[in-house]
Amino acid sequence: MAENKFPTEVVDLPSKGYYYSEDNPLSSGQIEIKYMTAKEEDILTSQNLIQKGIVLDKLLDALIVDKKINTNSMLIGDKNALFIAARVLAYGKEYTFDYADSQGQSKEHTFDLTTLKDKKIDFSKQEKGKNLFSFKLPQSERTIEFKLLTDGDERDVTTELEALAKVSGGVSKEVTTRFKKMVVSVDGNSERAFVNNFVDNEFFTQDSQAFRSHYQEITPDIDMDIVIDDGGEGVEITVPMTVQFFWPSVKL
């Protein structure tokens, strides 16, 4: 039986494939995805997948043409780009959402998703093919090496936080848990016990804030910050990915 052929589009990744090893198909900086069909709508309406929180991941798996691509190894910003492209191909470029105006009143706004641009990243300062970066902390003057989190890393963080929530007495450990997944070494020492102890006991608040700011600056992603003209006054917001993003017929 002949293989079904579906129309496809090539999506440019915000990372340009720069931080993936050469043997990773993501290193091309592009991913080919097919248009959604009724089959993919079955995925979106699967209550079982929705309850498990994996419905959108299953959707991407179905849409990506090259099945050698593992979404777990994908940087978060690249995954965001795929979500936006898939949404545009499925339901069109117009996305309607609610926002708070300058007076705090809820208003509705319709936005053209195709106008979103990639964050500006200076890739020339980093070595191609490596997801490894160095940063000198301003207060302690210690040097850490760190990586950008992948989708798989974020899944691990979520799992660890859920487990910690049961024994932490209500204290959130999101910052330290995520840092332990990011930080690879401290002053050249990559021993996990050493790194974890540093994060828990020696990572000063000033250094933490500087590191998070630097991390955001170098992380490839879609720039979701826009300005809405609200009666002559600009309102700065981040385009929200609400339930209506992939379920536009849903009314909250």
Task: Convert the pLDDT of each residue in 23-79 to its tens digit.
Answer: 999 999 999 999 998 898 889 888 898 888 888 889 999 999 999 999 999 999 999
Chain mean pLDDT for the chain = 90
Q: 174 with 63, same domain?
A: no
pTM greater than 0.85: yes
* Domain match, 73 and 143 both: no
Q: What angle do CA 92, 97, 102 make, to 5 degrees?
A: 140
Find the range with the poorest average confidence among 73-77, 130-134, 165-169, 233-237: 165-169
What pLDDT shows up at residue 250? 52
Asked whether residue 24 falls in the same domain as residue 104, the answer is yes
Write the burial class of residue 54 (CB in 10 Å: 0-12 exposed, 13-18 middle, 19+ buried).
middle
pLDDT (mean) for 202-212: 97
Half-sphere exposure of 173 (CA within 13 A, CB side): 21
Give residue 57's domain range.
Answer: 8-119+221-238
**Mean of the pLDDT values across residues 5-10?**
87
Mean pLDDT, residues 164-191:
88
Do residues 95 and 140 both lie within one domain? no
Tell me: the pLDDT tens digits for 138-159?
Answer: 999 999 999 999 999 999 998 8
Same domain, 110 and 226: yes
Domain shared by 170 and 45, yes or no? no
Domain count, the chain: 2
In the structure, what pLDDT confidence band is assigned to residue 3 with cuts at 50, 70 and 90?
Answer: low
Classify residue 140: in a domain, yes or no: yes
Whether residue 95 is contained in a domain is answered as yes
The reply to whether 56 falls in a domain is: yes
The pLDDT assigned to 1 comes to: 37
The residue count of the chain comes to 252
In a domain, 249, yes or no: no
